[in-house]
Amino acid sequence: MSEVAVDRHLDHHDVGPAKGLTRWLFTTNHKDIGTLYLWFSFLMLLIGGGMALVIRSELFEPGLQFVDPAFFNQMTTNHGLIMVFGAIMPAFVGLANWLLPMMLGAPDMALPRMNNLSFWILPFAFAMLLSTLFMEGGGPNFGWTFYAPLSTTYAPDSVTFFIFAIHLIGASSIMGSINIIATILNMRAPGMTLMKMPLFVWTWLITAYLLLAVMPVLAGVVTMMLFDIHFETSFFNAAGGGDPILFQHIFWFFGHPEVYIMILPAFGVVSQIIPTFARKPLFGYDSMVYATASIAFLSFIVWAHHMFAVGMPLAGQLFFMYATMLISVPTGVKVFNWVSTMWRGSMSFETPMLFSIAFVILFTIGGFSGLMLAIAPADYQYHDTYFVVAHFHYVLVPGALFTIIAAVYYWLPKWCGRMYDESLGKLHFWLSFIGVNVTFFPQHFSGLAGMPRRVPDYALQFADFNMVSSIGAFIFGFSQLVFLYTVIKAIRSGTPATHRVWDSAHGLEWTLPSPAPYHSFTSPPNVTEAEAHS
Amino acid sequence: MQNNHTITVLKLSLIVVGMFGFGFAMVPLYDLLCEVTGLGGKTGGAYAYDPVVARIDKSRLIKVNFITNTNAGMPWQFWSDKGGVRVHPGELKDAKFYIKNTTERRMIGQAVASVVPFSAAEYFHKTECFCFSSQMLEPGEQMELRLRFIVDLKLPKNVQTISLSYALFDVTNFAAAEHANPYLPNRTST
């Protein structure tokens, strides 16, 4: 503790943050950069959410009301791109920045200057992406999966800006991942062995390797698009001997690991939170690590389950069907481990725990609809319907997004030294929980009944489900303003938090004072079995 | 410590470079996979017909359907005089197709072939095909195109009907160089 006191002393006199705007522009501090990532992703959440509300307004009733179909397509495309690359991924990188050094007993991230660069690329990338919406011919309108030839032969002129935005986002993710892996492998405090690391660290280590493996493939596929569009190559152009189906294979070779990139850190977050509020150690720590690694491996051999309808040989369909179903085994291990952790625990239901329990239940629903989609013969019916939309929103919104929110409530007192208002947090939770389910549950039914995705208008029999869904979307969307208010209120006027914050929280970050000092551990902490992870 | 990071970063950068290369390696790998499995109904290039070895299996009669399509935005007319032919495996057969440039400008078209069912693709051989090169037509010009093909004796027993589909693409912007210089090799083989 005395070391920590010295830290705080230094903090105020010698090595504290610089003043003014340049603090944020030139910072190499992991906490500052984590904060930047988190606020940036929240801004993107609001922008992408605004686009979702444009979509849901148009779909409130059958017929065309507010926007023309061309603009509608730009909204669905940009909503997907911004939520995936702008909201979910940077939020998890922000959490990693804030938490990894504190959890590992390190003073900072391994490569602080690259850390600064990997954040500051993002505002430029997304400014470029969003600026396409105001260009002649409009922004990307080919779906977030940007299938060729929609994104090449038939793309708006602005597609080149989209391609370079993806390049920048990819470069940012790759640098972030290298930094995270270098931190985890080289900067652990003495005694913090790999199998003592908190699960959030473990899931991020594996996620970072996934990012390194697939972001270059994404960069490659957009580069091929660039060449097809401007240099008359024929990677995806059938007239020149290319094949548009090849695009889908390369894209989904990136795309499937990408969905695990968005969910593995979420698994890590709930594995930290549930033991704290169940007041029991995590059930099956080792199996959690192995399950995460298995999921990561399997994610590379299932990509064509997104493409059952392209006309694949029977052997291919069977392989991808069984491989996909196999993923439910390690995922099931995780779900049962979380449930077993809660079993006979003395549970309390603070806001982070509520979001985590909602995650376990709702993510499992999304997992089950994923199993339905994995059945190749049935997928011919479900393919490109609202059932798919319901499925991936269940795993991404109450999946990834809920855990990010849970993480913010859980670690906010450590970050800013003040507690959030528990009643406001609970209000935010219940509005979000109800809003999410009212929005996405009816989409299962309209999808099974045959409503295609990415349409601005629909047949009359889908009217009721769509109206319910739109009402839910507005509840969910506006309840995020409660979140914003709660966080700002906590930062400005929350009651001071203790070091431990939650009485049964385990992990090195809780041995630091609240708020955590500007530089985390200038001398390595003493790592004990009990304090390493929960 | 700093040295430690340098080694880690170098190792990780190798993964990045390798995977960027792998993305591009997927292009030839995919073509190879399609060739081996007949995936996508790709039919391969010119087939060397050997009349000495060739044998005709009179016991089977395979129906070959011809399907002609023009790609969206391609204004030419494209048709075959017969919708299809019946052929014994091993027998050399001719078919005629026609294209007409209905526009007021010189254009270049390229036909791309595919075969359904995919399991028949590797047993459908073309000894001569207009799809091996692109065609340049003056405004209003019509051209007769020849296809000479042979269905392999080893065609799976369950295949009774083969559909040969051609999609005609406008490659005026692509293939101009090829037609300006007749000594250049054709850019496509299928």
Give me the residue spans of the domains in chain B: 1-37, 42-180
Q: Complex ipTM, two decimals?
A: 0.88
CATH number at residue A389: 1.20.210.10
In this predicted structure, which of A229-238, B20-29, B112-121 has the lowest mean pLDDT?
A: B112-121
Examine the pLDDT at B181 and tell me if it is beyond 60: no
Q: A167 catalytic, yes or no?
A: no
Q: Return d(Cα A202, Cα A444) in angstroms, integer.
A: 33
Q: Return d(Cα A71, Cα A283) in angstroms, integer.
A: 49
Residue among B3, B9, B29, B122 with most chain A CBs within 10 A, to mutate = B9
Q: A172 catalytic, yes or no?
A: yes
> ∠ CA A399-A402-A406 to the nearest 5 degrees?
135
Among A39, A144, A147, A209, the one annotated catalytic: A144
Q: Which two tokens stand for residue A513?
A: 């004072």
Examine the pLDDT at A272 and tell me if it is beyond 80: yes
> ∠ CA A368-A369-A375 to the nearest 5 degrees?
95
DSSP bridge partners of B165: B67, B114
Residue A155 φ then ψ, to 5°: -80, 155
Q: Indicate the number of domains in chain A.
A: 1
The arithmetic mean of pLDDT across residues A315-336, rounded, is 95
Q: What is the DSSP letter of B8?
A: H
Percent of chain B, pLDDT > 70?
82
The pTM is what?
A: 0.89
Q: A249 catalytic, yes or no?
A: no
Residue among A118, A188, A250, A307 with most chain B CBs within 10 A, to mutate = A250
- Which residues of chain B lie closer than 8 angstroms to A224, CB-CB? 24, 27
Q: What is the pLDDT of residue A534?
A: 61
Compute CA A480 distance to the chain's CA centroid, rounded to the nearest angstrom: 16
Q: A421 catalytic, yes or no?
A: no
| Cα-only R_g, chain A | 23
Q: What is the pLDDT of residue A121?
A: 97
Q: What is the pLDDT of residue B179?
A: 66
Q: Is B1 on the interface with A (CB under 8 A)?
A: yes
Report the range out of A36-50, A304-318, B25-39 with the highest average pLDDT: A36-50
Examine the pLDDT at A242 and tell me if it is beyond 90: no
Q: A108 catalytic, yes or no?
A: yes
Does the distance separating the beta carbons of B174 and A239 come in below 8 Å? yes
pLDDT tens digits, A183-214: 999 999 999 999 999 999 999 999 999 999 99
Among A7, A32, A58, A108, the one annotated catalytic: A108
SS3 readout for A50-97: HHHHHHHHHCCCCCCCCCCHHHHHHHHHHHHHHHHHHHHHHHHHHHHH
Q: What is the pLDDT of residue B190?
A: 38
Does the distance separating the beta carbons of A217 and B173 come in below 8 Å? no
Q: What is the DSSP letter of A318?
A: H
Domain membership of residue A257 as a residue range: 2-532
Residue among B27, B129, B189 with most chain A CBs within 10 A, to mutate = B27
Q: Which residues contact A88 (CB under 8 A, 6 or more apart)?
A: A41, A262, A396, A400, A401, A404
Q: Return d(Cα A497, Cα A430) in angstroms, integer.
A: 24
Q: Is B13 on the interface with A (CB under 8 A)?
A: yes
User: Burial, A193: exposed, middle or buried (Cβ in 10 Å; 0-12, 13-18, 19+)?
Assistant: exposed
> ∠ CA A31-A32-A33 to the nearest 5 degrees?
90
Task: Report the Cα–Cα distance between both ends of chain B, in Å, rounded.
Answer: 57
Q: Which CATH number fits domain B42-180: 3.40.50.720, 3.40.1390.10, 2.60.370.10, 2.60.120.10?
A: 2.60.370.10
Q: How far is CA B160 from CA A98, A277, B68, B80, B126, in A?
A: 66, 67, 20, 21, 19
